[in-house]
Amino acid sequence: MRLRQRIGNYFLNKELEGLKRVTMSVPLNDVKRVGVLFSGQDDVSLKAVNLFVERLRKSGKSVRCMGYVSREKAAETLRPAWGLEFFTQNDLNWYFRPESRNVQSFIEEPFDLLIDLRMQRSMALPFVVALSKARFKVGCFNESDHGLYDLMIRADSNMEIAEFIGQLEHYLEMVGPKKDGKQ
């Protein structure tokens, strides 16, 4: 692991240590406000995320999406084409913490549910997950992300994002209302 990534992990862990939050799980059908994080690096992922977001919106949920792409030019191209929000490497400080107003606004929004759809490890999105005011956070299982989520779903290394979304929906429909992190 590179020095910059180790420093980023150090600061991320410090942020996690200082966080006090009350979790509250709600079945997917009862969720009103959803935040969706994703990596917008390829068209297959973008299409799957867009279809998922459309399903959530059609079921009456208020959904806000935030995607990470490494280059500003890609974000400028994707915004109008997909109608989703993006942030880039330029929005990160030197240890990968996002600092743009757009991302800060996303972090401050008190979602009922935050869904992290990234399938691979990155340094940009964990800060958003960690700092989010969401009441319940869900993401792909990763040993190094164990402190970020209230529910982690294991995905095979060759699993497509659409299949992961299906697994996620399945398990979120089974979640019952519980408070204070006693899952």
> Domain ranges in the chain?
3-178
pLDDT, position 4: 73
Tokens read off for 87? 């942030």
pLDDT, position 57: 93
Q: How far is the C-alpha of 78 from the C-alpha of 69, rounded, in Å?
A: 9
pLDDT, position 148: 84
Q: How far is the C-alpha of 139 from the C-alpha of 137, rounded, in Å?
A: 7
pLDDT, position 182: 42
Crossing angle (nearest 10°) for helices 43-58 and 161-174: 30
Tokens read off for 132? 């989010």
Annotation: CATH topology of 3-178: inorganic pyrophosphatase (n-terminal core) (3.90.1640)
Q: How far is the C-alpha of 28 from the C-alpha of 174, rounded, in Å?
A: 8
List per-block mean pLDDT (blocks of 10 residues) for the chain, which spans 183 residues. 75 71 81 92 83 93 90 58 78 87 94 91 83 93 78 87 93 74 43
pLDDT, position 73: 53
* Residue ranges of E strands in 91-167: 113-116, 137-140, 151-153
The answer for 157, left when phi > 0, alpha when psi is -120 to 50, beta otherwise, is alpha
pLDDT, position 86: 85
Instruction: Answer yes or no: are the C-beta atoms of 124 and 92 closer than 8 Å.
Output: yes
Instruction: Answer yes or no: are the C-beta atoms of 53 and 169 closer than 8 Å.
Output: no
